[in-house]
Amino acid sequence: MSEKPKKEGLWKRIVHTFREKKETAHYKFNKIGKLRVHEFTDPVAAREILRQDANFGTPRFVKKGIGRFIGNALILDEGESWQNMHNLMVDIFSPKGVNKTIAPVITDECDKMIDRWLKDGKPLDLEHEMRGLTAKVVMRVVFSDSINEKQAQDIIDASTVTIESFRKPHKLTVAMRMLGIHKEYIPPMKKTYKESAAKIDGILETIIAERRKLKEQPDDILGRLLEATDVATGQPLTQKQIKDQLVMFIVAGHETTAVGLTFSLHELLKNDKELKKVQNEVDNFTHGQRLTPGDYNRLPNVRDAFKEAMRLHPSAYEIARECEHDTVVGGVQIKERDLIRISVLEMQRAPDLWQNAAEFKPERFRKEPMPRAWLPFGTGPRVCLGMTMAMTEGTLALAEIFNRVTFDVTERPTGEQLVFTMRPLGKLEATAKERKPNPAQPTP
Ligand code: HEM
């Protein structure tokens, strides 16, 4: 019996009736009533937009929606106040800062994780493991040792629930935009999100109260926040401002890197030739010893494998902006309040921008002239502040994992899902076994 075609909902019918579309190779334009949305996959136009921070800010619906959880934290902030916070944190995340303080934390946490794998010998959910690793690393960067394991785990669990709600604009916001009404409807928070936010709040209050008792603050993110001054008031940051920044760093600093690492493991574990290159590079370098934090810059094959996994599976798959003043980008007229979507995912997979775009080919980063279409961390003044930390973490963690273990894979992801970040669909499950290093092998 043939299935009855599904009836289109009222919302979809309205959108289809009023939509005007234009499309060229790397640009799409959709106009529905007064709502205008430009989608760019052209690297030159994308970079031009991202460089013009003053004219292309974070969309208001994103600011208001996410702002319920993180107030005006650095990622949403603007102007002098953003600059102040950026300056306060930038050296922690600079190559020198990462090398000195963050890289040792990464290798330490990574070795502890691998020791546990080898001791337990159980099948591992590798996405879950990577989330655990990146969460532990970011917690130490934010709090040093002022957080215990339970508090850290509770914050991660609760923030995973709140992340789920960082979604698209509400239909009412879209409807108002279609009518030319520039307002955003932010629906009331679901009970579960409220509960998670309150839980995070309570834990942070306790940690902050303990830290305020110290005569001297450790040089970590919390320490810097406790000693910072608000540029607008000239006063120390309020408790809420501190908590907002902490939540932002925890969320921004673990989810994306965890997903990047999981996709890297997934690609390497289905690609023998690339895996051998990584193993040989690590063997020739470590000779069976543990990796040291300073090794990051000496592992180009491993670094390129992480970069290539983030090209094929960018965790921040789309960057959104809203135009503040009429302008022209790449010959396209953009009006005040137009929405912009930079589809990092499509750009990084475009067959005319990359040779054999669908293939996992890490060496492309050294053989092809560096394509300007690689944008997993954004670019311009709002480029990811944690980029060096993430690249270091990705490279060192992959190198140490393949230095010390081999895997028997029992389940693989079947695709991808677009949630807050792009995540694997389905589990990457494997059992880890101790690996005997095999030094001095020629690279295939
Ligand atoms: C693979 C891992 C990561 C990816 C793919 C990633 C991606 C991004 C992207 C695309 C942006 C720019 C968003 C925009 O322009 O609207 C961004 C901003 C940011 N990221 Fe990351 N990120 C990663 C890891 C990290 C880490 C480890 C941290 C810190 C612990 C971090 C902290 C930040 C911050 C603070 C911003 C805001 C910068 C600003 O607005 O000035 N990120 N990230």
Digit-by-digit pLDDT tens for the chain (444 residues) are: 445 666 667 777 776 766 777 788 899 999 888 889 999 999 999 999 999 999 999 999 888 888 888 889 999 999 999 999 999 999 999 999 999 999 999 999 999 999 999 999 999 999 999 999 999 999 999 999 889 889 988 888 888 777 666 667 778 888 888 888 888 877 777 788 888 888 999 999 999 999 999 999 998 999 999 999 998 899 999 999 999 999 999 989 999 999 999 999 999 999 999 999 999 999 988 887 888 888 888 899 999 999 999 999 999 999 999 999 999 998 999 999 999 999 999 999 999 999 999 999 999 998 776 678 999 999 999 999 999 999 999 999 999 999 999 999 999 999 999 887 899 999 999 999 999 867 555 555
In a domain, 355, yes or no: no
Q: How far is the CA of 248 from the centre of ligand 1 (A)?
A: 10
- What global pTM score does this model have? 0.92
Give a yes or no: residue 21 inside a domain. Answer: no
Q: If you measure from the C-alpha of residue 256 to the centroid of ligand 1, how many angstroms do you get, rounded to a whole number? A: 8
Say which CATH number the domain at 220 has.
Answer: 1.10.630.10
Residue 88 belongs to some domain of the structure: yes
Q: Up-side HSE of residue 14: CA atoms within 13 Å toward CB?
A: 11
Gap between the Cα atoms of 343 and 42, Å rounded = 9
In a domain, 322, yes or no: no
pLDDT recorded at residue 197: 86
Residue nearest to atom 19 of ligand 1 (CA): 384
In-domain check, residue 375 = yes
**pLDDT on residue 34:** 84
Which tokens in the block code for residue 393? 């973490």
Q: Give the closest residue to 130 by CA, choosing from 309, 276, 289, 270.
A: 309
Residue-level length of the chain: 444
The candidate with the shortest Cα–Cα distance to 107, out of 423, 417, 403, is 403
pLDDT of residue 1: 45
Looking at residue 369, its pLDDT comes to: 65
Sequence-distant (6+) residues with CB within 8 A of 203 are 151, 154, 155
Question: Taking Cα atoms as reference points, which of 244, 290, 320, 257 lies closest to residue 60?
Answer: 320
B/e letters for 338-366, b = 16+ CB within 10 Å, e = fewer, are bbbbbbbbbbbbbeebbeebeebbbebbe
Indicate which residue's Cα is closest to atom 10 of ligand 1: 377
Residue-wise burial string across 426-440, b where 16 or more C-beta atoms lie within 10 A, e elsewhere: ebbbbbbeebeeeee
* Closest Cα to atom 9 of ligand 1: 377
Domain count, the chain: 1
Answer yes or no: is 240 within a domain: yes
- Token pair for residue 372? 């300007």
List Cβ neighbours of 202 (8 Å cut-off, separation of 6 or more): none
CA torsion, points 53, 56, 57, 59, in degrees to nearest 10? -160
pLDDT at position 174, please?
Answer: 80
Tell which one of 76, 85, 261, 384 to mutate to probe ligand 1, the residue whose CB is within 8 A of the most ligand atoms. 384
Give the per-residue pLDDT at 194: 83
Residue 210 lies in a domain: yes
Question: How high is the pLDDT of residue 278?
Answer: 96
Q: Name the residue range of residue 195's domain.
A: 80-171+188-316+362-434
431 φ, ψ to 5°? Answer: -105, 135
Which residues, judged by CB distance below 6 Å to any ligand atom, belong to the binding site of ligand 1? 74-75, 86, 138, 249, 252-253, 256-257, 260, 315-316, 319, 376-378, 382, 384-386, 389-390
Cα(12) to centroid(ligand 1), Å: 33
- 443 lies in a domain? no
CA distance 427 to 414: 8
Q: From the centroid of its chain, how far is CA 10?
A: 35
Write b or e for each residue in 240-268: b if 16 or more Cβ atoms lie within 10 A of its Cβ, otherwise e: ebbbbbbbbbbbbbbbbbbbbbbbbbbbb
Q: How far is the CA of 38 from the centre of ligand 1 (A)?
A: 23
- Kindly tell me the burial class for residue 226, based on how many C-beta atoms sit within 10 Å of its own C-beta (0-12, 13-18, 19 or more): middle
* Residue 327 CB burial class (10 angstroms; 0-12, 13-18, ≥19): middle
